[in-house]
Amino acid sequence: MPSHRSDDEDKPCRACSDFKTWAKGQNKVTFTSPNKPQHPRPKDCPLDKDEIGRSTWGFLHSMASYFPDKPTKKQSEDMARFFNIFAQFYPCEPCAIDFQEDLKRHPPKTSSGTALARWLCERHNTVNKKLGKPVFDCSKVHERWRDGWKDGSCD
C-alpha cells in the first residue's frame, strides 16, 4: 500500500512510493498494465520516490564533492545546518524520518570537502543497505561525482 500525505490522509503520497505501487493503489491504468489501453507516461509528471531519490543524491553528492577543502567556519556551520534543514523537508516522509535519525547518530562532517563527500557517501550506503542495494566504494566518491572515472570513460 502506498503511504499517504500527512496533511491529507485521503491522498496517497507519490513521493513516498514508486510509480507502479502508487498507480496500483489508485487503480490507475499504467503503461505496463496488461490487457488495458497502453499510453506512454508523459515526461512532466510529479516525481515518484525513486526519481526524487536519484535526483536528490545527484545534487547532494555533487554539492559535497565541490565543497571547499578548506572551508571557512561559516561555510562549515552553514553546510551542517543545510543538512539538518534538508532532512526536515525531504518530500518522502518515511525516508526523511529515517534520515533525521541517521543524522542524529552521524552529524554532518563539514571540516573539508573530502570529509563531507565521504560522510555523505556513508549516509547513502546506510540507505542502500536498508533497501538491499549494493554498497558503494566511498574511496571513489570524487571519481563518481566530480572528476570522472580514472579509466577516462567520462572524458
109 is an interface residue for ligand FAD by CB under 6 A: no
Backbone phi and psi for residue 106, each to the nearest 5 degrees, phi listed first: -135, 80
Whole-number Å distance between alpha carbons of 149 and 131: 26
136 is an interface residue for ligand FAD by CB under 6 A: yes
Whole-number Å distance between alpha carbons of 59 and 133: 20
Mask 33-72, x = binds ligand FAD (CB under 6 A)?
Answer: ----------------xx--xx-xx---x-----------
Residue 48: C-alpha distances to residues 15, 21, 35, 41 (Å): 5, 10, 24, 13
Nearer to ligand FAD, 30 or 102 (CB): 102
Backbone phi and psi for residue 9, each to the nearest 5 degrees, phi listed first: -65, -20
Backbone phi and psi for residue 4, each to the nearest 5 degrees, phi listed first: -120, 155
Total residues at the site for ligand FAD (CB under 6 A)?
22
13 is an interface residue for ligand FAD by CB under 6 A: no
Nearer to ligand FAD, 82 or 136 (CB): 136
List residues near ligand FAD by CB under 6 A: 49-50, 53-54, 56-57, 61, 90, 94-95, 98-99, 121, 124-125, 127-128, 131, 133, 136, 141, 144
